[in-house]
Amino acid sequence: MSCLTRKLQQKLTRYVQKNTSRFSSNDPECIREELVNKGVCPSDVTTDQLKIILNEVKNN
């Protein structure tokens, strides 16, 4: 499992908050793939780590 730094987690959270409507799916795996393909997210960030980020976005 990759180390998701606090700074990277905050950056990804802000990006997801601003671009939620642009994702083609609500599935964390699909969102992770889109972020990796756009170069926003490193490929070693796991789906479980992205689920944590998505939960933060929903709670804020």
* Interval 17-36 mean pLDDT: 92
Residue ranges making up the domain that contains 37:
24-60
**Is 39 part of a structural domain of the chain?**
yes
Q: Write down the pLDDT at residue 60.
A: 81
Q: pLDDT tens for residues 1-16?
A: 457 899 999 999 999 9
Backbone angles phi, psi at 17, to 5 degrees: -60, -45
Residue 52 located in a structural domain? yes
State the Cα–Cα distance between residues 31 and 23, nearest whole angstrom.
6
Does residue 6 fall inside a structural domain?
no
Q: What is the pTM of this model?
A: 0.84
> Would you say residue 29 lies in a domain?
yes
In total, how many domains does the chain have? 1
Would residue 5 count as lying in a domain?
no
pLDDT tens-digit map of 33-55: 999 999 999 999 999 999 999 99
Instruction: Please indicate, yes or no, if residue 55 is contained in any of the structural domains.
Output: yes
